[in-house]
Chain A
Amino acid sequence: MAEYKPIPVTLIVNGKEYKLEVPPYERLIDTLRYRLGFTSVKEGCGRGECGTCIVLVNGRPRHSCLTLTATVDGAEITTVEGLAPKGKLHAVQKAMLDTHGVQCGFCTPGILLMMKALLDRNPDPSDEEIKEWLSSNICRCGSYLRYLKAVKLAAKYIKEGKIYFDEEEARKTLIANIPR
């Protein structure tokens, strides 16, 4: 492979600043996963078709597999690791647990970030809007109907001012009280 001069880049990932030098062809997904260790970012296709690699770049969802790191210099990036402060779960994560949307979990990080981005933009989305947004993500295990419920539940939590939940508590709650 031809040698290229590395490009200096600053990224703020989940609130922490990283000063890096990356080759011009390096994809954001690889920077996040392999340089910085944010392995919640998943690669399902590498072509912008499955949504597993979605991260928030300055608050907007973006396919990290189609983004060159050098093009997002200075950006604030959120991955699932940064959805909530340490030891806490964000409302979308809690809602995902409460609606039992998790199966294999490979699509889960991308889905959670889409949910967060959607609710940031519209705290009270319609079914159609939810379906439209989440159709950027494939879930082959087929939890789609749960995601619909999860977004609505998360919206409710947020409206009630419940944005963060205790992670330990959630681990202990084996029988979740689910609105069914």
Chain B
Amino acid sequence: MSKPYYVEIVEKVFEKTKDMRTDEFKWLGKIIQRWDAVDKVTGKPLFTLDLVNRIRDAVFLYTVRTKYAHARIKKIDVSDAARYPGVIRVITAKDIPGVNDVGYVIPDQPLIADKKVRYIGDTVAVIVAENYHAAVEAADLVSVEYEPLRPILDPLEIVEWGGLREKEHELIHEERGSDVVSRYKIRRGDIKKAEQEAAVIVENEYRTPFQEHAYLEPEAAIAWVEADGSVSIIASTQCPFDVRKAVSQVLGLPFNKVRVRVPLLGGGFGGKEDVANDIASKAALAAVLTGRPAIIFHTREESIIGHSKRHPMIARYRHMARRDGTLLGVEAEIILDTGAYASLGPFVGWRAIVHSTGPYKVPNAKVDLAVVYTNHVYAGAFRGFGSPQVTFAFERQMDLLAEELGIDPVDLRLKNILRNGDRTVHGQLLDHGVGLEEAIKKVVEASNWYEKRKLYGKPQGNIVRGIGISAFYHGNSIGAEGADFSTATIIINRDGTITYRTGLTDFGQGAQQGIMNIIAEVLGVPPSYIHLEPPDTSATPDAGPTVASRSTVMGGNAALVAAYRLRERLNKLAAELLGCSEDEIVIDAPDVYCRSDKSLHMTWQELVEQAFWKGVPLQEFGYFRAPPAEWDEETGQGAPYMHYTFGAVVTEVVVDLETGVVRVERAYTAYDIGRVINRVGAELHAEGGFIQGMGYALMEDIYHSKEGYVYNKTLSTYHVPLMLDTPEEIKSFFVEAGFKRGPFGAKGLGEPSITGIAASIANAVAHALSAGKLINAIPLTPDRVYMVIKKKGLNPF
């Protein structure tokens, strides 16, 4: 089978540039001010709710949520609420013209509940009023008769260890016939044999918490009906095409009658996926039912109970090794709690199992994973997508193994890591582009690891320091999770400026700047020539969801393909006009000239103008589809992702023995991202990802009461890192082991930047306290750490 043209272009560009140093490029890897920075520091109206002032005659929505986390609905009476002054109407499930479902992967999540509620954030009605206050006040007047059911909050009530069989229980999703959403497995080699051959076996149980995205911009959506009956929506969403699908389904409209636009996002981190389907559908419904523009926004409390979280994990791991440290096998059972709805749970579970044994050569493996429902807040996508959970577990295991064998943790890792030419636990051959060893060496050297590892771990008065490492990998793009393609449109306008359109959103981390750098590099124009159009489902082709760190690789490849084809045409035309060969043409806008004779010169504007008169098309559509992933459901063998980003993190912590408070003093991160495309963005990812990962390691969790209520729904009770918590220094290094099917060799960094953080911090705390198996759960809050200090007899009192 011949290669598709787009793969050929990407590989050709890689081949041509793979030996170049990044500093030899004009725009790639340079310190470039992002396109929207000035607008942001001057406070321009860039976010969804900033546009409210431009909407006339709007109605406001407020969501009425359930009183119980698990109950059957007997009756809903909205008549009192509907009579409240200012209320226009109260929407319940029976007002939905299309399908009452906003489930992301499987149809298990009603937009408005009418039979059963399954967690404390479920919607039972939506108030539509002349103003926001009236809508909120009327919410209390909706009366619902419930038959409360016992909430199930422990995933171990759903499945049991020793095979993860489903237990006898009253089903949360009786319509599905099971509360296990999905199961995955890996079977490689012969685990029994590995066990017999092993000189040491270490085993432990691990727990990780919920994590709330806490993006600073709460969700919002505005919807109105156009004159032709189509519906327009502006929403803070990561995935405009998924919102379009959800709204179409709820309203019973075809896709081309629903238009979704996305202004800038005040953070996303994976959280603005399904919740956007929910609020956009509500707004669209209200707009259709009232004929007026409809505005919905979440307060912080609604945001915290209304959108998905990172899946908590419970896992049991057994690692087997030879005396010299060679890994022989990994056996594990992993349970992910997806809460009341599947959301992206099935995909998260799959990514988790793919990464469950880490970036190591594992000849024998037996891993089982189940994603189960409970009556918790539902869990879905969050930066890392199942990886940080398993990375915490397998990296703690590696440290336990090192301890057991008396080998330094770095040396143990270096003995087992994947290198070029090795096969992953899925049997995937990695023939190039594996930069893990270099990443580990960078952080080890920068942190002065060996010396500090000896020095730390000994109490000095009331404090003790520790140093820890983690190594990890992260599959690029969505792999076998779904159709993996991306698109971009580039138009060179007659005045020489460039319009760039994509369906991928920018959560705020600046991924789009990376793509603009690629376009600039290929075309030979400064990035300032390029105007980025906001995603618009009616004007941009479907580029798939903005998830899975796919912007730079997938979006970048689509843009690269489009820019490359434009450049070919421009080179041809310039060669004709200037009288030299095509590969002699240098474009360094505003200058265009022949390499050997700079006097053969014209301007970029002249070239564009000539193209216009000569009929050379100056618009191009770029498409890229990732090579199809392979995955055998029975054995977990195949090639799950096209490639992997690798990384290593060293963290230094200081533990207060009186209080159990852990502080991170310094951190060193190294990521193999193939090629640094967007230097500022990469550095900010490394820093911001570290800080978010530090929150996950040390302070963040969602606490439910036994009735299923959420205790911490505010930012003063749900703690995220502040400036005072931030380490003195986060040093970031980048390794550039190019991947031939990434743009200029690049790989993604969005998610990898959080994947190994908690593991590295936990390993440092374990080192500080010589705590071994006792550090087996995060967050390492003071109370949890203090219990360990006490058990170890390290407390000063």
Q: Which residues of A contact B (CB under 8 A)?
A: 1, 33-34, 37-40, 42-47, 49-50, 52, 79-81, 89, 93, 96-97, 100, 102-109, 112, 130-132, 134-135, 137-148, 167, 170-176, 178
- State whether B217 touches A103 (Cβ < 8 A): no
- Give CA–CA (A1, B265) in the complex, Å: 33
Q: Which residues of A contact B691 (CB under 8 A)?
A: 142, 144
Nearest B-chain residue to A88, judged by Cβ: B42
> Does B744 lie at the interface of the complex (its beta carbon under 8 Å from any beta carbon of A)?
no
Partner of A1 from the list B49, B134, B689 (CB cut-off 8 Å) is B134
- Give CA–CA (A139, B216) in the complex, Å: 7
Nearest A-chain residue to B138, judged by Cβ: A1
Q: Which residues of B contact A43 (CB under 8 A)?
A: 49, 218
Can you list 30 A-B contacts (CB < 8 A)? A40-B42, A40-B43, A44-B217, A44-B266, A47-B300, A47-B715, A50-B715, A52-B216, A80-B41, A89-B38, A100-B684, A102-B34, A103-B684, A103-B688, A104-B266, A104-B508, A105-B46, A105-B508, A106-B215, A106-B508, A112-B41, A140-B215, A140-B267, A141-B684, A143-B687, A167-B38, A167-B42, A170-B38, A171-B528, A178-B31
- Give CA–CA (A22, B136) in the complex, Å: 20
CB contact under 8 A between A49 and B715, given known A105-B36, A143-B688: yes
- State whether A97 touches B38 (Cβ < 8 A): yes
Give me the 9 closest cross-chain CB pairs, A-B, nearest first. A104-B508, A40-B43, A106-B266, A142-B688, A105-B40, A142-B691, A80-B43, A49-B715, A39-B50
Binding-face segment, B6-14, B350-358, B445-453, B717-725? B717-725
- State whether B43 touches A135 (Cβ < 8 A): no
Given contacts A45-B299, A104-B264, A105-B264, 9 further A-B contacts (CB under 8 A): A44-B266, A46-B300, A89-B42, A102-B37, A134-B723, A138-B715, A145-B730, A172-B528, A175-B32
Partner of B42 from the list A93, A106, A107, A173 (CB cut-off 8 Å) is A93
CB contact under 8 A between A39 and B526, given known A104-B509, A135-B723: no
Partner of A37 from the list B33, B40, B53, B217 (CB cut-off 8 Å) is B53
> Does B45 lie at the interface of the complex (its beta carbon under 8 Å from any beta carbon of A)?
yes
Q: Which residues in chain B, 712-743, are within 8 Å of chain A measured between CB atoms?
A: 714-716, 720-724, 726, 729-730
Q: How far is the CB of A143 from chain B (nearest CB, A)?
A: 7
Q: Which residues of A contact B44 (CB under 8 A)?
A: 40
Nearest B-chain residue to A82, judged by Cβ: B43
Partner of B509 from the list A38, A137, A141, A167 (CB cut-off 8 Å) is A141
- Give CA–CA (A167, B684) in the complex, Å: 24
CB contact under 8 A between A39 and B53, given known A49-B714, A148-B723, A176-B31: yes
What number of B residues sit within 8 Å (CB to CB) of A? 67
Q: Which residues of B contact A172 (CB under 8 A)?
A: 528
Nearest B-chain residue to A90, judged by Cβ: B41
Q: Which residues of B contact A171 (CB under 8 A)?
A: 38, 528
| Interface core residue of B30, B86, B266 (most chain A CB under 10 Å) | B266
- Give CA–CA (A46, B217) in the complex, Å: 12
Nearest A-chain residue to B729, judged by Cβ: A145
Nearest A-chain residue to B683, judged by Cβ: A100
| Interface core residue of A33, A96, A106, A147 (most chain B CB under 10 Å) | A106
- State whether B680 touches A42 (Cβ < 8 A): no
What is the total of A-B residue contacts with beta carbons within 8 Å? Answer: 187
Q: Which residues of A contact B45 (CB under 8 A)?
A: 39
- State whether B715 touches A45 (Cβ < 8 A): yes
Nearest A-chain residue to B690, judged by Cβ: A142
Nearest A-chain residue to B44, judged by Cβ: A40
Q: How far is the CB of B469 from chain A (nearest CB, A)?
A: 21
Q: How far is the CB of A18 from chain B (nearest CB, A)?
A: 15
- State whether A107 touches B216 (Cβ < 8 A): yes
- Give CA–CA (A81, B53) in the complex, Å: 17
> Does B249 lie at the interface of the complex (its beta carbon under 8 Å from any beta carbon of A)?
no
- State whether B720 touches A100 (Cβ < 8 A): no
Q: Which residues of B contact A148 (CB under 8 A)?
A: 723
Nearest B-chain residue to A40, judged by Cβ: B43
- Give CA–CA (A135, B726) in the complex, Å: 10
Cβ contacts B274-296/A at 8 Å (1 or 0 each):
00000000000000000000000
Q: Which residues in chain B, 680-723, are within 8 Å of chain A measured between CB atoms?
A: 680, 683-684, 687-692, 714-716, 720-723
- State whether A144 touches B715 (Cβ < 8 A): no
> Does B507 lie at the interface of the complex (its beta carbon under 8 Å from any beta carbon of A)?
yes
| Interface core residue of A42, A109, A144, A170 (most chain B CB under 10 Å) | A144
> Does B137 lie at the interface of the complex (its beta carbon under 8 Å from any beta carbon of A)?
yes
Q: Which residues of A contact B687 (CB under 8 A)?
A: 142-146
Q: How far is the CB of B660 from chain A (nearest CB, A)?
A: 21
- State whether B32 touches A174 (Cβ < 8 A): yes
- State whether B41 touches A108 (Cβ < 8 A): yes
- State whether A97 touches B526 (Cβ < 8 A): no
- State whether B714 touches A174 (Cβ < 8 A): no
- State whether A175 touches B30 (Cβ < 8 A): yes
Nearest A-chain residue to B52, judged by Cβ: A34
Q: How far is the CB of B529 from chain A (nearest CB, A)?
A: 10
Q: Which residues in chain B, 31-70, are within 8 Å of chain A measured between CB atoms?
A: 31-34, 36-47, 49-50, 52-53
CB contact under 8 A between A100 and B53, given known A138-B715, A172-B528, A174-B528: no
- Give CA–CA (A170, B37) in the complex, Å: 10
